[in-house]
């Protein structure tokens, strides 16, 4: 296990795949078992079979011959008795004896001769012949008795007895040979069995010798790489993305390890990239306040100058241009802040899709002029709200617009990006098409997968993947096809949230019938930036308000205390030294609760405002988002918001 770059490419040892190795090991074990079994069978089976094959007919033949000889001996004894009795003879007994002696011997005996071992065959055959001779001789005696030749019969009986003895000798000899042969075969089998068992022991020892080798091989090829991977995954789970596992072989696990390394490298790269984005966001947020304040000051001073009726027309036009440009710069800065912080903020449930799209266009609009791109944005102003977080939806549109800009840059002007929108039964739809080179056919199926990009090193390959995830989270969908103009076209579908979201200006919210000027309104203006505070104060004073100024929260509390809290409304910056706006609001809640509800805040840092949320938290106090004005803001908007607060609140004591 190692952290950091691990040498992989070019150092893989070529090796058979794990599957092949596994099959090989199983095959080897199988062959080994089969081999031992086969060896045992080959060494012992033939001997056993042979012993059985040779023993069965021998035993069978012995049984036949013994049965036949015993029967014959009994018949000979009977015959001897008849011969001894002499005349007049016993015809019935003789007929019985004659029939017995003429009986067909068991027909198996003939075949058995062919089955017995050759060494015994002669002895068996000779014994059989002796039996046959005895049978015939006994029949001769029977015949002589039948013919009444008792003396001849008695004489012949001696020969019969001699033949019986001869038969017994031959049978004994056959039996001796048979037993000898069986014992020899048994010894051979026993010897073969012993040899086979010894050989099996040798085989087992060889098997035991190879077992560690097999286990080592299995560990080396499977255990160790898997352990490396497990450790690597553990490190990743603990947050260490800089981990690389060794790629030991070019097999499945080797490829897995390589993919793992590639994955961690990508994750590491993404993490670093994300970190840079986060840092950039923080930087932007930090700078925004510092930039917004001068922008607000410029805007305020410019507006104040524009109030001068003696102003020359040329000067007025110049000041108007300054005002517009400062407003544009402020808007752009707000957009950047919002976009940079979109991932870390709580999500809203619905969004004004037209507004979101407009803001996304604003973010990338500077590229249109540079790249000579014409944007045809057909946004229906009466689109209903849709489900989804505005900031995340804005991220989708920025991604799609960035892709489109990148695409159309690859073709010669005229370059066009077109946006269309509408509502149907399924919800809100939008299309974004361009006249760029289009999506390569090979990418169509993989377009929304991670790390698929046509931008090479310039792209992460995550934009469309994340966009689809955002849309799906919102219950929507995105798909791509070819635009009629020949470029790419993305179709988005979002679930309608039902309500119409008209753009309502602060001025619209001023209730008719109530005071519409700041005449006589006591205002405490709290801001540490004198360059900003002074022009605002002058503007409000010119509008008839009685304006007191304070440089921070502490000073503001002193003024309030000095006047016993008799202010109609407070206009306070959120970020100030000593005591910021939030702390001031907290103190007001404690000391002058009524006044706490009549504070309008100014902020140059969007980070204080939770996008989409109606409130912001600061300690225990809650500041409604609509009470915060983002710098730079037109002084008329400040006036309007102050009027709203004044109208809403009961008069100051």
For residue 66, the minimal CB distance to other proteins (Å) is 19
Measure Cα distances from 394 to 151, 277, 470, 502 in Å: 141, 16, 10, 18
User: Considering CB under 8 A, how many residues would be counted as binding other proteins?
Assistant: 32
DSSP string across 398-463: HHHHHHHHHHHTTSPSPEEEEEEEEEETTEEEEEEEE-SS---GGGTTTTTSTT--SSGGG--S-H
For residue 74, the minimal CB distance to other proteins (Å) is 18
Residue 30's H or E segment, with its range, is helix 18-85
501 forms part of the interface with other proteins (CB under 8 A):
no
Closest CA to 410 of 455, 446, 473: 455
Which one of 25, 44, 55, 149 is in contact with other proteins (CB under 8 A)?
149
Q: Which is nearer to other proteins, 174 or 401 (CB)?
A: 174
Choose one: 2-10, 111-119, 277-285, 485-493; the region binding other proteins (CB under 8 A): 111-119
242 forms part of the interface with other proteins (CB under 8 A):
no
575 forms part of the interface with other proteins (CB under 8 A):
no
Phi and psi at 513, nearest 5°, equal: 90, -10
Q: Which is nearer to other proteins, 134 or 606 (CB)?
A: 134
For residue 177, the minimal CB distance to other proteins (Å) is 12
Which one of 121, 305, 347, 409 is in contact with other proteins (CB under 8 A)?
121
How do beta strands 522-526 and 599-603 pair? Answer: unpaired
Choose one: 20-28, 39-47, 129-137, 399-407; the region binding other proteins (CB under 8 A): 129-137
User: What does the DSSP 8-state code read for residue 521?
Assistant: -
Site for other proteins in 69-108 (CB under 8 A): 95, 98, 102, 104-105, 107
Are 144 and 156 within 8 A, CB to CB?
Answer: yes
- Alpha-carbon distance of 318 to 324, in angstroms, equals 10
Closest CA to 476 of 433, 432, 427: 427
Q: Which is nearer to other proteins, 95 or 455 (CB)?
A: 95
For residue 124, the minimal CB distance to other proteins (Å) is 8
Closest CA to 378 of 450, 323, 432: 432
113 forms part of the interface with other proteins (CB under 8 A):
yes
285 forms part of the interface with other proteins (CB under 8 A):
no
Given the structure tokens 């969908």, which residue do they identify?
477
140 forms part of the interface with other proteins (CB under 8 A):
yes
Helices (H) and strands (E) in the chain, counts: 17, 17
Measure Cα distances from 265 to 6, 7, 271, 366 in Å: 11, 13, 10, 34
118 forms part of the interface with other proteins (CB under 8 A):
yes
Q: Which is nearer to other proteins, 111 or 578 (CB)?
A: 111
Q: Which is nearer to other proteins, 134 or 393 (CB)?
A: 134
Which one of 37, 67, 110, 410 is in contact with other proteins (CB under 8 A)?
110
Q: Which is nearer to other proteins, 146 or 231 (CB)?
A: 146
147 forms part of the interface with other proteins (CB under 8 A):
yes
**DSSP SS3 for 482:** strand
Which residues contribute to the site for other proteins (CB under 8 A)?
Answer: 95, 98, 102, 104-105, 107, 110-111, 113-115, 118, 121-122, 125-126, 129, 132-133, 135-137, 139-140, 142-144, 146-147, 149, 152, 156
């Amino acid at each position: 296990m190692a952290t950091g770059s691990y040498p992989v490419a070019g150092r893989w040892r070529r090796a058979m795949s794990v599957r092949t190795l596994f099959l090989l090991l199983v095959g080897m074990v199988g062959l080994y078992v089969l081999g031992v079994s086969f060896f045992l069978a080959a060494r012992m089976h033939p001997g056993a079979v042979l012993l059985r094959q040779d023993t069965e007919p021998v035993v069978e033949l012995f049984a036949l011959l013994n049965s036949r000889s015993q029967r014959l001996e009994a018949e000979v004894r009977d015959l001897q008795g008849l011969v001894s009795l002499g005349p007049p003879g016993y015809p019935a007994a003789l007929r019985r004896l004659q029939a017995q002696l003429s009986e067909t011997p068991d027909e198996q005996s003939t075949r058995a001769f062919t089955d017995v071992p050759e060494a015994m065959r002669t002895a068996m055959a000779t014994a059989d012949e002796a039996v046959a001779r005895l049978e015939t001789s006994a029949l001769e005696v029977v015949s002589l008795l039948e013919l009444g030749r008792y003396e001849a019969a008695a004489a012949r009986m001696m020969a019969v007895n001699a033949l019986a003895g001869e038969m017994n000798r031959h049978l004994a000899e056959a039996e001796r040979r048979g037993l000898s042969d069986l014992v020899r075969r048994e010894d051979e089998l026993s010897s073969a069995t012993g040899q086979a068992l010894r050989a099996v022991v040798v085989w087992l020892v060889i098997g035991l010798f190879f077992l560690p080798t097999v286990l080592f091989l299995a560990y080396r090829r499977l255990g160790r790489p898997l352990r490396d991977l497990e450790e690597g995954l553990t490190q990743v789970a603990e947050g260490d993305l800089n981990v690389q596992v060794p790629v030991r072989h070019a097999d499945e696990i080797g490829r897995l390890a390589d993919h793992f390394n590639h994955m961690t490298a990508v994750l590491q790269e993404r993490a670093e990239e994300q970190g840079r984005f986060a840092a950039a966001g923080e930087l932007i947020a930090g700078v925004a306040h510092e930039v917004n304040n001068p922008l607000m000051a410029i805007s305020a001073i410019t507006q104040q100058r524009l109030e001068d009726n003696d102003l020359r027309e040329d000067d007025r036009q110049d000041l108007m241009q300054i005002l517009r440009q400062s407003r544009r710069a402020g808007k752009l800065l707000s957009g950047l802040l919002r976009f940079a912080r979109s991932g870390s903020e709580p999500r809203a449930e619905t969004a004004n899709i037209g507004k979101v799209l407009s803001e996304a266009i604003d973010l990338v609009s500077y590229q249109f002029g540079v790249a000579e791109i014409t944007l045809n944005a057909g946004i229906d102003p009466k689109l209903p709200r849709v489900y989804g977080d505005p900031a995340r939806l804005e991220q989708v549109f920025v991604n799609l617009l960035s892709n489109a800009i990148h695409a159309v840059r690859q073709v010669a002007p005229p370059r066009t990006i077109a946006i269309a929108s509408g509502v149907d039964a399924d919800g809100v739809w939008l299309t974004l098409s361009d006249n760029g080179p289009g999506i390569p056919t090979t990418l169509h199926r993989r377009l929304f997968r991670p790390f698929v990009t046509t931008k090479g090193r310039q792209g992460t390959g995550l934009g469309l993947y994340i966009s689809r995830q955002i849309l799906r989270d919102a219950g929507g969908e995105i798909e791509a096809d070819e635009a009629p103009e020949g470029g790419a076209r993305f179709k988005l579908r979002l679930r309608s949230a039902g309500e119409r979201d008209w753009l309502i200006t602060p001025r619209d919210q001023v209730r008719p019938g109530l005071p519409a000027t700041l005449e006589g309104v006591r205002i405490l203006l709290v801001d540490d930036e004198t360059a900003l505070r002074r022009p605002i104060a002058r503007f409000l004073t010119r509008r008839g308000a009685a304006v007191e100024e304070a440089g921070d929260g502490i000073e503001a509390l002193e003024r309030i205390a000095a006047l016993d809290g008799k202010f109609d409304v407070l206009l306070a910056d959120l970020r100030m030294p000593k005591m910021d706006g939030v702390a001031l609001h907290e103190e007001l809640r404690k000391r002058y609760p009524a006044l706490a509800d009549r504070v309008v805040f100014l902020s140059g840092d969007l980070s204080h405002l939770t996008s989409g949320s109606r409130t912001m938290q600061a300690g225990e106090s809650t500041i409604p988002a609509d009470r915060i004005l983002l710098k730079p803001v037109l002084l008329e908007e400040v006036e309007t918001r102050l009027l709203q607060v004044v109208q809403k609140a009961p008069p100051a004591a």
